[in-house]
């Protein structure tokens, strides 16, 4: 007989039933700081107070435009502003009875849906990937229908300048006379590429670059919210590197926090410099002082130390340009940058009292030229060294104003004085290196390939006295200061001796060109007096003596 199963009998083993185990919640994905701290209200939108005030007044007075255009550099809040305007226009308040407001509540369903990017009546389109007329035609067709769950149907078109010409033309009529329930919000970084016909139909807001001090304050609040310690100088460095863009600055700060986490400390200025490849401000001040002091060896060694620490040579030149600019602003009485260290401000004020405007302008031009050369050079560090040597050489040249004063006073216009010699007797140039007279000196310069200088001397130099190593020219026909300084330098190279060049208010001798022309004319007159030439002129009364001054013959 087969066994039967008693359904009412207890099971053979009385095991406790385990409670169902709920799956562990997935960890929330990390959001970068630029997304996490995106402005959710107009109060959180930093650096755009004028625009916020204009929008607030327009909402209060019910003078809302049908199309807005936000323009500015990347990361200043164009798309965020468009979303905030969408929230402001569609907010209904916590009780559901509110109207358009410059302070959306952030609690009602429209505010939350717009913030999360899921509102059915707020449509965002990236014009970079939807450039054609068909994409715009879809917007035109959909704009005819009323909003489903909001007060206004909002179209946010990012990078609107990427739309094609035909797409812009298709949008014009709807943009000029849209339905009452539709608002267009455009954002672009290149407003010059937007057709003027579109610009004329929009209310335009130019979002400004965010000042560095406001960015630094914002980054400090972000660090406090994230529980991260950061040096004030580090945040100032990040703010300057962001160049007015909050998004760029938050991305750099994100990277700096990650770096600090690996190092086990807060965000330090030194770590930010290494991360961004920036020069240490103290090293830049030292290098700038060496340049002004004419210490070529010390300047090159300082540059190499920074290069060995991973600093880009272009960054060094850029930092030196910032230094020259800062000293110039300090000289004109500009306000101090609160983000700078105290020793930085004191050093700039000290240099401002010792450097003239012509010197600062010349330094700026030299630094700017060096920066461009290094940026394009195949050998950046070598190009940077040559640029610094050029700055040192130029710093030792007399000021143009000083040269003009010396010319007016008839003073010496020699090359920059050489370092003081040792106590031993100064070396004397061999006699063979010193030309016998002024024409021989000009010939020697010509042989040394100083062609441009020789041409100016032959044309304009009226000699008063030639007594090597001294030259005196007539001041009645002044020569340029550059020519005199160039002559002093060339003679020093040619004769290995420093020459003293002065001007005297006397007529002086004729220039070499004038003397040669006079001698040539004398030879021509002598030739006309010869019997052969006179006989030829008598036989041919209309004949003319053609004189070749190069060959001194007919």
pLDDT tens sequence across 325-343: 989 988 887 766 655 667 7
Tokens matching residue 175: 């943009």
Predicted confidence (pLDDT) at residue 2 exceeds the cutoff of 50: no
Predicted confidence (pLDDT) at residue 156 exceeds the cutoff of 90: yes
Averaging pLDDT over each range in 186-190, 291-295, 332-336, 450-454, which range is the top one? 186-190
Predicted confidence (pLDDT) at residue 494 exceeds the cutoff of 90: no
Tell me, yes or no, whether 551 lies in a domain: no
Tell me, yes or no, whether 348 lies in a domain: yes
Residue 188's pLDDT band (cuts 50, 70, 90): very high
Domain co-membership, 110 together with 140:
yes
Tell me, yes or no, whether 300 lies in a domain: yes
Report pLDDT for 6: 53
Domain co-membership, 330 together with 385:
yes
CB-based burial label for 341 (10 Å; 0-12, 13-18, 19+) = middle
Tell me, yes or no, whether 422 lies in a domain: no
Q: Is the peptide bond before 250 cis (omega within 30 degrees of 0)?
A: no
Domain co-membership, 201 together with 66:
yes
Parallel/antiparallel/unpaired status of strands 463-467 and 470-474: antiparallel
Q: Which residues pair with residue 183 across a beta bridge?
A: 154
Report pLDDT for 264: 55
Q: Rounded to 5 degrees, what angle do the CA atoms 225, 227, 229 make?
A: 110
Dihedral angle sign, alpha carbons of residues 482, 488, 493, 498: negative
Residue that terminates a domain, selected from 206, 230, 259: 206
Residue that terminates a domain, selected from 206, 239, 264: 206
Domain co-membership, 305 together with 188:
no
Domain co-membership, 242 together with 354:
no
Q: Report the pLDDT averaged over residues 443-471.
A: 84
Tell me, yes or no, whether 138 lies in a domain: yes
The contacts of residue 241 (CB under 8 Å, 6+ apart) are: 248, 249, 252, 276, 278
Domain co-membership, 67 together with 177:
yes
Tell me, yes or no, whether 447 lies in a domain: yes
Radius of gyration of the chain (CA): 40
Report pLDDT for 226: 86
Query: Which domain, by its residues, includes 256?
Result: 212-276
Report pLDDT for 122: 92
Domain co-membership, 188 together with 271:
no
- Domain CATH number, residue 133: 3.40.50.300
Q: What is the total count of domains within the chain?
A: 4
Domain co-membership, 96 together with 191:
yes
Report pLDDT for 20: 58
HEC sequence for 400-425? HHHHHHHHHHCCCCCCCCCCCCCCCC
- Domain CATH number, residue 505: 3.30.300
Report pLDDT for 397: 63
pLDDT tens sequence across 379-417: 999 999 999 999 988 766 666 566 566 656 655 444 444
Report pLDDT for 554: 44
Averaging pLDDT over each range in 38-47, 186-195, 306-315, which range is the top one? 186-195
Averaging pLDDT over each range in 37-51, 177-191, 257-271, which range is the top one? 177-191
Tell me, yes or no, whether 308 lies in a domain: yes
Domain co-membership, 95 together with 151:
yes
Predicted confidence (pLDDT) at residue 350 exceeds the cutoff of 50: yes
Domain co-membership, 50 together with 88:
yes
Domain co-membership, 169 together with 263:
no
The label of the residue with tokens 């600090």 reads 260
Q: Report the pLDDT averaged over residues 175-184.
A: 90
The label of the residue with tokens 């190279």 reads 493
Domain co-membership, 120 together with 46:
yes
Residue that terminates a domain, selected from 186, 206, 226: 206
User: Distance of CA 484 to CAs 175, 372, 505, 510, Å?
Assistant: 69, 30, 16, 18
Tell me, yes or no, whether 14 lies in a domain: no
Report pLDDT for 311: 83
- Domain CATH number, residue 358: 1.20.272.10
pLDDT tens sequence across 220-268: 999 988 888 888 888 888 888 888 888 888 998 988 888 776 555 688 8
Q: Report the pLDDT averaged over residues 176-186.
A: 90
pTM of the model: 0.57
What's the CA gap between 238 and 425, in Å, rounded?
A: 58
């Amino acid at each position: 007989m087969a066994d039967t199963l008693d359904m009412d009998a207890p099971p053979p083993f009385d095991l406790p039933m385990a409670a169902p185990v709920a799956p562990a919640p997935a960890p929330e994905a990390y959001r970068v700081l630029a997304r996490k701290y995106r402005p959710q209200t107009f109060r959180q939108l930093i650096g755009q107070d004028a625009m916020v005030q204009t929008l607030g007044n327009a909402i209060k007075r019910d003078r809302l435009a049908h199309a807005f255009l936000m323009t500015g550099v990347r990361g200043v809040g164009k798309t965020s502003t468009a979303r905030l305007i969408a929230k402001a226009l569609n907010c209904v308040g916590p009780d559901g009875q509110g109207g358009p407001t410059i302070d959306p509540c952030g609690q009602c369903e429209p505010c939350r849906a717009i913030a999360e990017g899921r509102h059915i009546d707020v449509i965002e389109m990236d014009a970079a990937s939807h450039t054609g007329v068909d994409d715009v035609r879809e917007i035109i067709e959909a704009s005819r229908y009323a909003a489903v769950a909001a007060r206004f149907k909002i179209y946010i078109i990012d990078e609107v300048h990427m739309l094609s010409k035909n797409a812009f033309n298709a949008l014009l009529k709807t943009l000029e006379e849209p339905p009452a329930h539709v608002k267009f919000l455009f954002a672009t970084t290149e407003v010059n590429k937007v057709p003027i016909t579109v610009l004329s139909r929009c209310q335009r807001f130019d979002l400004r670059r965010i000042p560095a001090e406001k960015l630094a304050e914002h980054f400090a609040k972000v660090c406090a919210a994230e529980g991260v310690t950061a040096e004030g100088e580090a945040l100032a460095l990040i703010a300057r590197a962001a160049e007015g863009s909050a998004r760029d600055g938050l991305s750099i700060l994100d990277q700096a926090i990650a770096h600090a986490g690996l190092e086990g400390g807060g965000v330090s200025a030194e770590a930010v410099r290494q991360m961004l490849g920036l020069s240490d401000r103290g090293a830049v001040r030292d290098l700038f002082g060496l340049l002004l002091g004419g210490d070529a060896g010390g300047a090159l060694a300082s540059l190499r130390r920074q290069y060995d620490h991973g600093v880009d040579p272009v960054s060094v030149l850029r930092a030196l340009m910032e230094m020259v600019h800062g000293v110039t602003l300090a000289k004109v009485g500009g306000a101090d940058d609160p983000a700078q260290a105290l020793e930085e401000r004191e050093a700039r004020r000290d240099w401002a009292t010792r450097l003239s405007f012509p010197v600062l302008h010349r330094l700026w031009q030299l630094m700017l030229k060096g920066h461009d050369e290094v940026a394009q050079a195949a050998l950046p560090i070598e190009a940077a060294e040559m640029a610094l040597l050029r700055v040192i050489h130029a710093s030792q040249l007399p000021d143009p104003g000083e040269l003009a004063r010396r010319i007016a006073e008839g003073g010496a216009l020699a090359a920059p004085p050489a370092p003081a010699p040792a106590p031993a007797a100064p070396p004397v140039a061999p006699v063979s290196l010193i030309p016998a007279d002024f024409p021989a000196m000009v010939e020697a310069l010509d042989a040394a390939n100083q062609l441009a200088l020789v041409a100016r001397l032959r044309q304009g130099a009226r000699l008063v006295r030639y007594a090597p190593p001294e030259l005196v020219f007539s001041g009645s026909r002044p020569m340029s200061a550059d020519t005199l300084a160039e002559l002093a330098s060339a003679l020093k190279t040619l004769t290995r001796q420093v020459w003293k060049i002065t001007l005297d208010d006397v007529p002086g001798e004729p220039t070499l060109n004038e003397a040669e022309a006079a001698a040539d004319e004398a030879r021509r007159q002598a030739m006309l007096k010869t019997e052969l030439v006179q006989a030829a002129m008598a036989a041919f009364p209309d004949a003319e003596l053609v004189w070749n001054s190069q060959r001194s013959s007919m």
